[in-house]
Amino acid sequence: MESPKIRIIIADDFAIVRTGLMTLMKEFDELEFVGQASNGQIAIELCEQISPDLMLMDMQMPVLDGIAATRIIHQRHPDIKIIMLTAYAQEAMVHQALRAGATGYVFKDISPDRLLQTIRSVFAGQLTLSPLAAKSLLDTSHAEHEVGYRLTAREREVLHLMRDGFSNHTIAERLQVSPATVKSHVSNILAKLEVSTRAEAVALTTRHDSHP
């Protein structure tokens, strides 16, 4: 039986970028283009109408920028995955994207195969940052902390499962505890790592593990 396609909306204020991405997606059978937006407000409206699986979101757009649109879409439709597709790698922008609810951050010069890989990973629930975006985060004060130093053994176990993309409900089943207990562990992890979202916690630990 054929696997369902990943339904994607493209949000970018440049028509040539949207057209290029639409053309690119036609090369991959598992991707389906279902809509396009020239600003963040239209992107929000399309999500209400179409409910895509995933959105490729430009960072800077008129009317409503990509960060603001991502925040609203994530609040209203947490199941819609959002990949920031941008030309900027500043630490503050990466953090803003993660806090808004994005789980992917890549650059517009990305290769077609790499973009497909990123879409697959984000759709599967994995946080995916381009190497340059991940590197920019290494310059934060968090990079000076020993990640996990203050976490309990159980919190480190929960964090590992978070990094694998599992929901609180699935983590609870795997650890044979209640969802409320997992929620408490997640809150403690965020507080101890001094981050605001699960994506930031995962990004912090992922880049720490890969840093020599």
CATH of domain 144-206: 1.10.10.10
Q: What is the pLDDT of residue 144?
A: 42
Residues of the chain with CATH 3.40.50.2300: 6-137
Q: What is the pLDDT of residue 191?
A: 83
Taking 50 as the pLDDT cut, the residues of the chain under it are 141-146, 208-212
Residues of the chain with CATH 1.10.10.10: 144-206
Q: What is the pLDDT of residue 141?
A: 43
Tokens in use for 187? 């809150």
Q: Which of 108, 52, 113, 116 is nearest to 81 (CA)?
A: 52
How many Cβ atoms sit within 10 Å of the Cβ of residue 4? 9
Q: What is the pLDDT of residue 136?
A: 63
Q: What is the pLDDT of residue 75?
A: 92
Q: Would you say the pTM of this structure is higher than 0.95?
A: no
Name the CATH code of domain 6-137 (choices 3.30.1950.10, 3.40.640.10, 3.40.50.2300, 1.50.10.10): 3.40.50.2300
Q: What is the pLDDT of residue 143?
A: 44
